[in-house]
Amino acid sequence: MSKKTILAKFTDPDECLHAAEALVKGGVKIREVYSPFPIHGIDPVLGLSKTRISTAAFFYGGAGLSLALLMMWYMNVQDWPMDIGGKPSFSLATNLPAFIPVAFEITVLIAAHGMIGTYFFRTRLAPGIQPMNPEPRSTNDLFVMEIVLQDNPKQEATALKNQLLELGALECTDDELRYED
């Protein structure tokens, strides 16, 4: 079943932010805001919590570091210890100074790619995925607020539209939700 939505289009990020604040204060639930660039400060208004992706990066980095040390220990100390120029590889601890550069590089490698991968996965980014922004100009110059009528049973559609226009929206159009969550 399709859900009816109202798309309120703003031309200015600050107007969009102030409108969102006013609406949320009045008890309206905003489903989504599509914008051509980040609107700073709108995330808490829409009830979004802080992203935890940097924590994930930290753990990827830790995994990379452990993996790198394990690999170098296994290859150069355990499996085939080499004695080059009278400097044998006795143990991980004695060889650690020489292992630092590669350990660092692999830490960065795994942290960066792990985080990018998580970001793509969580944000649903991959080649061939259907974009779900309802208004093509939302990647150009419009800040589009999407309000699902079902989310707001107490609001009356026309009154809501008038309120949005008063708050500075360029226009309000009717639409249907393009995706199911």
Partner 1 sequence: MQIESPIRQPLILGNKSYAQITDEIVRPIEGRANKMWYLVFTIAALCALWGLGLIAYTFGTGIGVWGLNKTVGWAWDITNFVWWVGIGHAGTLISAILLLFRQKWRMAINRSAEAMTIFAVICAAMFPGIHVGRVWVVYWFFPVPNQFGSLWVNFNSPLLWDLFAISTYFSVSLGFWYVGLIPDFATVRDRQIVPFMKRIYKIVSFGWSGTTKSWQRFEEVSLVLAGLSTPLVLSVHTIVSFDFATSVIPGWHTTIFPPYFVAGAIFSGFAMVATLLIIMRKVLNLEEYITVNHLESMNKIIVVTGSIVGVAYITELVIAWYSGVQYEHYAFLNRATGPYAWAYWIMMSCNVISPQLFWFRGIRRSLVGTFLLSIVVNIGMWFERFVIIVTSLHRDYLPSSWTMFYPTWVDVGIFVGTLGIFFTLFLLFARTFPVIAIAETKSILKSSGDGWKRKTKEKYARIGEEAEAH
Identify the H or E element spanning 111. helix 92-122
Q: Does 162 bind partner 1 (CB under 8 A)?
A: no
Task: Decide: is 86 part of the binding site for partner 1 (CB under 8 A).
Answer: no
Q: Which stretch, 21-29, 49-57, 151-159, 163-171, contacts partner 1 (CB under 8 A)?
A: 49-57
Closest distance of CB 74 from partner 1, Å: 8
Q: Is 76 in the site for partner 1 (CB under 8 A)?
A: yes
Which one of the spans 2-10, 75-83, 154-162, 163-171 is the region binding partner 1 (CB under 8 A)? 75-83
Q: How far is the CB of 155 from partner 1 (least distance, A)?
A: 21
Q: HEC profile for the chain?
A: CCCEEEEEEECCHHHHHHHHHHHHHCCCCCCEEECCCCCCCHHHHCCCCCCCHHHHHHHHHHHHHHHHHHHHHHHHHHHCCCEECCEECCCHHHHHHHHHHHHHHHHHHHHHHHHHHHHHHHCCCCCCCCCCCCCHHHHCCCEEEEEEHHHCCCCCHHHHHHHHHHCCCCEEEEEECCCCC
Question: Site map for partner 1, 107-136, x if CB under 8 A?
Answer: -xx-xxx-xx--xx-xxxxxxxxxxxx--x
Contact set with partner 1 (CB under 8 A): 11, 13-14, 32-39, 42-43, 46, 48, 50-51, 53-54, 57, 71-72, 75-76, 79-80, 82, 84, 87, 89, 95, 98-99, 101-102, 104-106, 108-109, 111-113, 115-116, 119-120, 122-133, 136-141
